[in-house]
Structure 1
Amino acid sequence: MISFRKMLGASLYATMSISLWGISFVSTKAVLDKLDPFTLLVIRFGIGALFLLVLILVKKEHSMKLPIQYIPHLIVLGILGVFLHQVIQASALLSIDASSAGWLITLSPIFTVVLSMVFLHEKMTFPKAIGIILAISGVLLVTTAGGDRSLGFSINIGYLLMVLSTLNWAIYSVLLKSLKVPLPALVLTFYMSTLGLLLTLPFIYQNKSWEKLTLLDGVEWAHLIFLGVFVSGIAYWYWAKALEVLEATQVSVFLYLEPVSTLIAAVLLLHEKVIYTSILGGAIIILGVIFVNGHLVGLINRWSARR
Structure 2
Amino acid sequence: MIKNQKHAIYFALIAIFLWSTVATAFKLALQQLTPLQLVFYASSFSWLFLLSCLIKTKDFDQVMPTFKRNKIHYLKLGSLNPFLYYLILFKAYDLLPAQQAQALNYTWAIALSLLAVPMLGQKLRKTDIVALSFAYFGVLIISTKGEFTQLNFQSPLGVGLALLSTLLWALYWIYSTKNKDKPILSLFICFSIALPLISAVMTWQHAWLIPNLKGTLAALYVGLFEMGITFVLWLMAMKKAVNTAKVSNLIFISPFISLILINQFLGEEIHSATLIGLLFIVTGLMVQKLVK
What TM-score do you get using the length of structure 2 for normalisation? 0.82
Equivalent residues in 2 for 1:1-307, closer than 5 Å: 5=3, 16-61=14-59, 64-65=62-63, 66-67=65-66, 68-145=68-145, 152-153=152-153, 156-180=156-180, 182=181, 184-211=182-209, 213=211, 216=212, 218-238=213-233, 256-295=252-291, 298=292
More deviation, 269-278/234-243? 234-243
* Cα deviation digits, residues 104-148 of structure 1 (max 9, x gap): 1221121222233334444433333222211121111110129xx
Residues 32 and 214, structure 2, Cα contact 8 Å, conserved in 1: no
Query: Matched residues in 2 for 1:195 and 1:6: separation?
Result: 35
The alpha-carbon deviation at position 43 of structure 1 amounts to 1.0
Query: Matched residues in 2 for 1:200 and 1:100: separation?
Result: 26
Secondary structure of 2:32's aligned partner: coil
Query: Matched residues in 2 for 1:40 and 1:136: separation?
Result: 29
Partner of residue 301, structure 1: none
The alpha-carbon deviation at position 167 of structure 1 amounts to 1.5
The alpha-carbon deviation at position 13 of structure 1 amounts to 5.7
How many residues were matched structurally? 283
More deviation, 200-209/8-17? 8-17
Amino acid at match of 1:293: K
Query: Matched residues in 2 for 1:126 and 1:206: separation?
Result: 47
CA 1:219–1:269 in structure 2 vs 1: closer, same or farther (change >3 Å)? Answer: farther
Query: Matched residues in 2 for 1:286 and 1:172: separation?
Result: 22
Query: Matched residues in 1 for 2:126 and 2:111: separation?
Result: 17
* Cα deviation digits, residues 53-81 of structure 1 (max 9, x gap): 22322333355243423122222111112
Secondary structure of 1:145's aligned partner: coil
CA 1:140–1:198 in structure 2 vs 1: closer, same or farther (change >3 Å)? Answer: same
The alpha-carbon deviation at position 92 of structure 1 amounts to 0.5
Query: Matched residues in 2 for 1:209 and 1:52: separation?
Result: 25
Partner of residue 304, structure 1: none
Amino acid at match of 1:116: A
More deviation, 84-93/203-212? 203-212
Residues 81 and 191, structure 2, Cα contact 8 Å, conserved in 1: no
Query: Matched residues in 1 for 2:279 and 2:29: separation?
Result: 28
Residues 113 and 293, structure 1, Cα contact 8 Å, conserved in 2: no
Amino acid at match of 1:226: Y
The alpha-carbon deviation at position 11 of structure 1 amounts to 6.9
Amino acid at match of 1:57: I
Residues 95 and 155, structure 2, Cα contact 8 Å, conserved in 1: no
Query: Matched residues in 2 for 1:264 and 1:57: separation?
Result: 37
Residues 45 and 194, structure 1, Cα contact 8 Å, conserved in 2: no
Considering only aligned residues, what root-mean-square deviation do their CA atoms show, in Å?
A: 3.2
* Cα deviation digits, residues 235-269 of structure 1 (max 9, x gap): 344556678899xxx79866534422421321222
CA 1:261–1:178 in structure 2 vs 1: closer, same or farther (change >3 Å)? Answer: farther
Query: Matched residues in 1 for 2:237 and 2:178: separation?
Result: 14
What TM-score do you get using the length of structure 1 for normalisation? 0.78
Residues 144 and 154, structure 1, Cα contact 8 Å, conserved in 2: yes
